[in-house]
Structure 1
Amino acid sequence: MKKRTSSLLILCALVFFGCNKGTKTLEKTKAEDKYVEMFLVNNKKQKTLTSEMIDKTSDEYLEQIISDNILEWISVDYNNELLRVKSLSKGQQMFWSTWKLEGEVNNGGFNQFYFNSDEEFGQMAEDGFQIIGLKQYADLTHEANQIYKENKVRLQQYEDGTVKSFSESYEDNPLNKVDDKFYDLQEKQGISEFRIKYIRKHKEQFTKLD
Structure 2
Amino acid sequence: MSEAKGKKFLDSYGGQTVDQLIAMESDYRIDSLVLAFEGALLQKQEKKKLSRIELDILAVEAMEREVNNGGYHQFFLNSSKKFAAILPSSLERIGCPAAAKITSDALAYLKISGDVTVAKIDAALDRLGDKAITDLGKMDNRYFQNKEAIADKLFTYIKANKGEIVLK
Report what 2:37 is aligned to: 66
When residues 156 and 98 of structure 1 are mapped into structure 2, their CA distance, relative to the original with a 3 A threshold, is same
Query: Conserved in 2, the CA contact under 8 Å of 1:123 and 1:142?
Result: no
Identify the residue that residue 79 of structure 2 maps to in structure 1.
117
Q: Is the 8 A contact 2:96 2:148 kept in 1?
A: no
Q: What's 1:177 paired with?
A: 138
Quote the offset at 1:138 in angstroms. Answer: 0.8
The CA deviation at 1:198 is 0.8
Aligned residues of 1:66 and 1:206 also touching (Cα < 8 A)? no
CA distance in 2, matches of 1:71, 1:129: 19
Which structure exhibits the higher relative contact order, with contacts defined as CA atoms closer than 8 Å and separated by 6 or more residues? Answer: 2
- Other-structure match for 2:165: 206
- What residue number does 1:145 align with? 107
Shift of 1:181: 0.8
Shift of 1:3: 2.7
Q: Which amino acid aligns with 2:144?
A: Y
CA distance, structure 2, for counterparts of residue 100 and residue 172 of structure 1: 18
Deviation readout 1:150-188 (Å, 9 max, x if unpaired): 595452269xxxxxxxxx736664212111111111xx2
Unaligned runs of 5+ in 2: 113-119
How many residues align? The count is 154
Percent of pairs with identical residues: 22
Decide whether aligned partners of structure 1 residues 104 and 55 sit closer, same or farther in structure 2, where only a CA change above 3 A counts: closer
- How far off its partner does 1:203 sit? 0.8
| TM-score, normalised via structure 2 length | 0.75
Summarize the Cα distance change of 1:192–1:172 in structure 2 as closer, same or farther, 3 Å threshold.
closer
Name the larger-Rg structure: 1
- The change in CA–CA distance for 1:192 and 1:138 in structure 2 (over 3 A counts) is same
Which residue of 2 is the match for residue 155 of structure 1? 125
Q: Which runs of 5+ in 1 are unaligned?
A: 5-28, 78-83, 159-167
Give the structure 1 partner of residue 64 of structure 2: 102
Cα gap change, 1:50/1:175 in structure 2, threshold over 3 Å: closer, same or farther? same
Deviates more, 1:112-121 or 1:143-152: 143-152
Higher helix share: 1
Structure 1's consecutive aligned runs of 4 or more residues displaced over 3 angstroms after TM superposition are 149-154, 170-173
Indicate whether 1:52 and 2:19 are aligned. yes
**For residues 116 and 108 of structure 1, what CA distance do their matches in structure 2 show?**
10
Secondary structure of 1:123's partner? Answer: coil
Instruction: Quickly say closer, same or farther: Cα 1:171–1:202, change in 2 above 3 A.
Output: closer
CA distance in structure 2 between the partners assigned to 1:65 and 1:154 by the alignment:
33
